[in-house]
Amino acid sequence: MVWAGLILLAAGVVLAFAVGGDAGGVDLTLAGAVAMAAGAVLAVAGVLRLRRARRAGGGLAGRGVQSYYRTGTGKTVAMIAAVVYIVSPIDLIPDVFLPIGIVDDATAFTWLLFAVGQEYRRRRAVPAAPRD
């Protein structure tokens, strides 16, 4: 669910900021904004679902993965804040100042992809075999 949300968020960013215009009577900027909002909702719901599954004892523990690893609250809040920042029309640098206005959103999106990838790798890491 998280990956689907991030892919939808990326597609929305491309539609809203790179493509623009109309296609078949549909404003692509509006379609991109809707896709970004839906992607953000999916990504946040996926992260919350993973956290709930981890607390319930499910998740990856049965597959030989360290069951004690948990994403910190601060990092989770930062990831959600990055999604909200990317989706929101309020920016530190307005998008009308091209290309610098787009760079702050792209930076937040790049960090978000890096952080999600890092958490994915940490959760999937197989613990080393104990030495005798």
User: How high is the pLDDT of residue 67?
Assistant: 54
Q: What is the pLDDT of residues 49-104, one digit of tens each?
A: 877 776 766 555 445 444 556 778 888 888 888 888 887 777 777 777 777 777 88
pTM over 0.85: no
Closest CA to 10 of 120, 115, 108: 108
Which of helix, strand or coil describes residue 7? Answer: helix
Is 132 among the domain residues? no
Is 131 among the domain residues? no
Is 129 among the domain residues? no
Closest CA to 116 of 60, 44, 32: 44
Task: Give residue 50's identity as a one-letter amino acid code.
Answer: L
Strand partners, 22: 27
Range of the domain at 113: 2-124
User: How high is the pLDDT of residue 66?
Assistant: 46
Is 114 among the domain residues? yes
Q: Tell me how many helices (H) and strands (E) the chain has.
A: 4, 2
User: How high is the pLDDT of residue 58?
Assistant: 53
Q: What is the pLDDT of residues 40-52, one digit of tens each?
A: 888 888 888 877 7
Is 95 among the domain residues? yes
8 Å CB contact between 39 and 11: yes
Dihedral sign from CA coordinates of 30, 76, 2, 104: positive
Tally of domains in the chain:
1
Q: Torsion angle of alpha carbons 120, 39, 106, 27, nearest 10°?
A: 160
Is 33 among the domain residues? yes
